[in-house]
Structure formats: C-alpha cells, structure tokens
Amino acid sequence: MKRLTTTVLLSAALAGALPVQAQLGKLLGGGKAGKKTGDFTTVWEGEFENKATRLAVTDGTGKYIIATDDNSATVLNSDGKLIWSGDYKKITTNKTNKSEFQYTVWTDNGGYLFLFDERKLGTDRVAVIDIPTGKELWNSEQYQNLIPKDGGGGDNQELDTVKYIRELDSFLISQRNSVILVKANTGEKIWETNRFKGGVGAYLYDPQRNEIVMLNFKPTALGALFAGFKNQLVRINASNGEVLWDATFTGVIEKELVTRKPMVDLWLKGGKLYVHLNGLSVYNYENGQQLWSATYEDDMGGSSGNSLFGNKKRTKYYKLIAEPLFTDDAVYLVILGGRDRVKYIEKHDLESGKLLWASEKIAGAFCMPHIYKAGDKIMVQVGGKFQVQELRLEEVSNGFSAGMALGGFGGGSYQAWVPYIYWDYKNQKNGVLAIDDKTGKTAWRSERFDKRITDLILDGDKTVFVGDGDEFYSYDIATGNQLFDVKHNDAKVGKATDVIDFGDKVVVLSEKGLASYNKKDGSRAYASEKIRGVDYFYKIGDNYFLRDQRNSKNIIYGIDMTNGETKGSVQSKGKGGSPEYGDGIDITTDGEYIFAFKGKKVEKIKVNP
C-alpha cells in the first residue's frame, strides 16, 4: 500500500461557514507563531493573556479570535486588540473553574463558549459565555453525566450528549431518561420529552413545519447511562417537543475513528425520508412507515488493535463506497457483495424501491468511491484513493510548561495517541466504467490504469478526464473514444495524486508539484516543480491552498491556479488552530486571511496583495 498524504482532515468540513470547534486535552507550544514566505504579509501580531492550551481559533470571518486554557479565555478583535480576558471562576456565577471540555459555536451574532466542569465527587457544572462580550449567558448544575467520569469519550466536534441545533439556536441535551431542548443564549428549557433516549446521532430540520427528525445512538463511554436503549427514529414538533411518530431503524451508528463524525446521513425528498445507514431505508414522512429498503455495506473499517504493549496503531478506512446518487425518479447504489466482496451498481425506482437493473459485477476493486450521471450514462470510478484515519501511540516530548500541565516537573516525554488522517492508494483493479442508464449494460470501459486512478472530472455530459499517475486521459462519454493521452511524466512533477477542476483546465496535483492541461486538447498549460509533499488542496472562496505535513510540519501554500505560481506560504510552529487545516493554522471562510497560532502568540496574515 503506497501512502499518499499525512494528517489531513476532510475538505467537506469547509462547507460549513459557522463551524463548531472543541478540544478535550492540551495544546502545547510557545514562541513566534509562524514562518512566512512569498507575498503573504503580516497584518498584525498579537498575544493572548492566557496560556492558550485548550482552544486557539477564529470565527469564520476573522472578527473574533479566541484562546482558552483550563480556567480562562481571551478574545481579540480583527485588529488584534483585546476585547476581553477573564477567569471562568470570576465570569460564571456558579464558579465554573477547571473545564474538562470546552467548545465554541459560531453564529451570525458572534458565538458561544460552552464549558463543562466535570466534578468527580460533586455536581457537574455547565456554563455558556458570550464570545463577543465575555459575559455569562447562563449556567446550570441540572445537567449531569454529559462527559464520562473517567474523562474519556470526548468528541472533537461536540459531546455525544449535546447537539447544537443551528436552525433553532438551541442545544439538545441528552439525559438518562429524556432529551431536553434549551435556548443557547439563555439556557431556558423549551421542552423535554421522555420518548427519546440516547445521544442525537443525526438530525434534519424542516423549516416549513418547524419540525425535527432525528435518530439516536448509544454513546460508548456512557452506555450504562442509557440502559434499555433501542434504535429510534422520531419526528418531533420543534416548538413543544410533541413526538409525532416514533419508528425504528436497522443498524448501529458508529463514529469515525478520529473525526468522530457519525456515519449516517438523512435526506428529505418529495415527502420521503431517506436514511443512509447500512444501506438505504426510505420512510413516509407523514407517518414514519418504512416504505422500502436496500441493505448493503456502505463503508468498511479495519483496526490493528489498541494495546499499549502490542500493536501501537488503530486504523480505519473510509470513503470506499460512493454515496447514493439521486435523480428525479431513481436512485443509484454501489453495492458491496457478500463473501466474494464484488461490487456493482443497482438502480432503484425512487417511489417504490423496485430494482430496475443491476450492473455487471466488478471483482478485485478495493473501493468504488464515485459515481456520476452524464446524459444517458452512469459513470463509475473503479478504484482510487480512500481515506485512512489512524491513532498512533507515539512518544511525545514536552517542555517545562507541558510537564507542569501534565502534573510532572518539566522535560522528558510521554506516550499519547496521536491522530492522523490521510488519503491512500492500494493495489487493486482500477478503471472507468460507463453504464447504459436504460438497461444497466456496460456501454464501454477503460482499464488503462495499472498503478492508480485519480478521481474523475466530468465536463458536462460530453467528456471525462482522469489520470493514472503517469498519464492523463480524456474520453468521450457517449462513445468511450479516447480523445487524448498525455504523458504526464514529461511534466517532471512526479506521479499524479489528485485532480482539480479549474475552468477550461484540469490541474493535476502531483508528488513534486503541479501540471495544468487544457480540456480542449490536453495541451499542457504549465508545469511547476516548486512544491513537494503536498497532502491536499482546499478551495476557499476564490483562493486555492495546498498543504504539506511531512515530518510533523504543517505548511500551507497559497497557489495561483492560472499559472501554478506560489503566492506565499505559512509554516505553523505551534498548536491550536482549526482541525481542518492542522496544527496552528486557521483560515477565514473567504480564504483572504490566515491565522497562525503558537502558545500565547497569534499572527494574522494576508493572502493576496
């Protein structure tokens, strides 16, 4: 298995303009925030008044920059000036102090800092602070067992027992025998129902009816709290908590190893509710009756163990199977076979669930991550990259401040599970398959991909572009005729690892740099061998960024995709930042500013002149 990237989080997480960020543990570091090159310019450098060992992030706009440690928080404005700084014990009226879990929720009006003070021998405390002002909005000692007493089971996005409902600006809090909806800005209880038990695995809000559809899951670390748990899918009146119907679902909701994202999706289409979990189940939205289902394995996982004295790595594989592809009257599913592990496509009637056709079976493909509809063809990517999430038991060094924070005397090292997320390739059957949409028969195929296959890029219904590492191809979708074959080796940027759709060009991200090809004829627009070891790319606003995290580094490059030139780069030297971009880095949602964090220091960097 050839490794492609290291420690990169999903670009899909960038889609939310108002992210939730959390930290259960320590961020360690100090000194200058980042190292810049190129045309990136420093707007200002600032310093927090606390140790910034918990959170160090900005909201999506860069208007607020917050840093926290166990007992205090500091907030700066967009100019790097202090807005407020204070100790939790003094801010909160219930004397919330050392907070084992903290997370921010960003809103249009600023955001909330949610604090959990878990007390092993007393009553747990919760407090919510208004980020723009530093004022306590509310506190409570009513909500208990939100995090395990052993301190484990925390979630990098939010707690298993607390779900923020953005559409209602409210929190759904799970307790032993009920779930409670409270206003995020006041803590006022809106309603409570005992007809739903467990954590909220996923929810869907219907604004026209002011209703919530949600399904539950059993938090592993708090399993004893939810005795008698059963799978529930419920539709609830969001104004008063009335349960309009209560159905069941098949399967167990798991969370991804590192991101802790629940592996389930909900969609509401044409009066039907679709649940993507262990296949696809379809329910009548009005009464909760299950209409039809197609059961299949929709992702796989593998683990190498978690013993301190044996294996020192836990591994899971994701993004192996394409998500359901919906049209107005049909849905297309990638089916993973039983013992033989073959894969194939099924087309189902959207109304009745009737199987309309099944494609030929593909053996030898480890993954089938993408399918597309182009005219009267279903385009299938056989093989390609998949996501690996790992926890590795590593020796982590710590300085004086770190040693003190961990209860030691400074210096030395300790063992910790270090998270990694990266994309990988595996030797497998690779190819492009075009299926006739009416019959399910194979219209044409290409298997000229011996070593790997990149993702497909479709130009409308006419052409498809794809690479195999050493060459770059274009095919006519209707006929399968090869339109061009470009020797990507000649660009001298290494093997292709990913592709970027950029207007009338395709940019091929490679091991040593970039190469761009014109869609019309495959002629090379440029090749740039200036950047090596790129993990991933991000399109943020109108800006493109590449990322390199080899050898425990975290470097963000700004790229001009019109010519492949590097605008500049920032190398993080600390911890903190947003998990989307790695240690010590956060980027505004328009891509115009980068924030670099290290310990108490923060630097605001302008991307474009």
* Least confident piece of the model among 8-17, 130-139, 230-239: 8-17
486, pLDDT greater than 70: yes
pLDDT tens-digit readout, 348-406? 999 999 999 999 999 888 899 999 999 999 999 999 999 888 888 877 655 433 333 33
Q: Locate 284 and state its tokens.
A: 């009548």
Q: Read off the pTM.
A: 0.86
Burial of 143 (0-12, 13-18, 19+ CB in 10 A): buried
**How many C-beta atoms surround the C-beta of residue 235 within 10 A?**
23
Q: How far apart are CA 401 and CA 203, in angstroms?
A: 41
Q: What is the pLDDT of residue 576?
A: 82
pLDDT band at 574 (very low <50, low <70, confident <90, very high): confident
269, pLDDT greater than 70: yes
164, pLDDT greater than 90: yes
Q: What is the pLDDT of residue 310?
A: 54
Q: What is the mean pLDDT of the chain?
A: 85
pLDDT tens-digit readout, 551-573? 777 899 999 999 999 999 999 87
pLDDT band at 255 (very low <50, low <70, confident <90, very high): confident
Q: What is the pLDDT of residue 37?
A: 66
Q: What is the pLDDT of residue 412?
A: 59
Q: What is the pLDDT of residue 338?
A: 64
Q: Locate 176 and state its tokens.
A: 């032993």
Q: What is the pLDDT of residue 156?
A: 37
Q: What is the pLDDT of residue 22?
A: 53
Q: How far apart are CA 361 and CA 103, in angstroms?
A: 46
pLDDT band at 418 (very low <50, low <70, confident <90, very high): confident
* Least confident piece of the model among 107-116, 131-140, 343-352, 407-416: 407-416
Higher pLDDT, 306 or 175: 175
Higher pLDDT, 488 or 29: 488
**How wide is the angle at C-alpha 369 spanned by C-alphas 487 and 351, nearest 5°?**
135
**How many C-beta atoms surround the C-beta of residue 254 within 10 A?**
18
CA neighbor of 20 nearest in space, from 173, 127, 156: 156
Higher pLDDT, 132 or 576: 132
Q: What is the pLDDT of residue 581?
A: 87
Q: What is the pLDDT of residue 117?
A: 82
What is the pLDDT averaged over residues 169-177? Answer: 91
The one-letter code for the residue type at 308 is L
Q: Which residues contact 478 (CB under 8 A, 6 or more apart)?
A: 375, 377, 462
157, pLDDT greater than 80: no
pLDDT tens-digit readout, 7-48? 333 333 333 344 555 544 444 444 456 666 678 999 999 999
CA dihedral sign of residues 60, 386, 256, 214: positive
**Cβ-contact 373, 328 below 8 angstroms:** no
**Cβ-contact 55, 67 below 8 angstroms:** yes
What is the pLDDT averaged over residues 531-557? Answer: 86
Higher pLDDT, 356 or 118: 356
Q: What is the pLDDT of residue 3?
A: 37
Q: What is the pLDDT of residue 402?
A: 34
Q: Which helix (H) or strand (E) holds 404?
A: helix 400-405
**How wide is the angle at C-alpha 268 spanned by C-alphas 264 and 273, nearest 5°?**
70
Higher pLDDT, 272 or 152: 272
* Least confident piece of the model among 55-59, 296-300, 329-333, 352-356: 296-300
Higher pLDDT, 168 or 599: 168
Q: What is the pLDDT of residue 153?
A: 42
**Cβ-contact 353, 291 below 8 angstroms:** yes
Q: Locate 590 and state its tokens.
A: 């328009």
Q: What is the pLDDT of residue 59?
A: 94
Q: What is the pLDDT of residue 161?
A: 86
**Cβ-contact 277, 286 below 8 angstroms:** no
CA neighbor of 22 nearest in space, from 164, 208, 200, 211: 164
**How wide is the angle at C-alpha 194 spanned by C-alphas 263 and 279, nearest 5°?**
25
**Cβ-contact 136, 118 below 8 angstroms:** no
- E strands within 170-312? 170-174, 179-183, 189-193, 199-206, 211-217, 233-237, 243-247, 265-269, 272-276, 279-284, 290-295
607, pLDDT greater than 90: yes
464, pLDDT greater than 70: yes
4, pLDDT greater than 70: no
Q: What is the pLDDT of residue 407?
A: 33
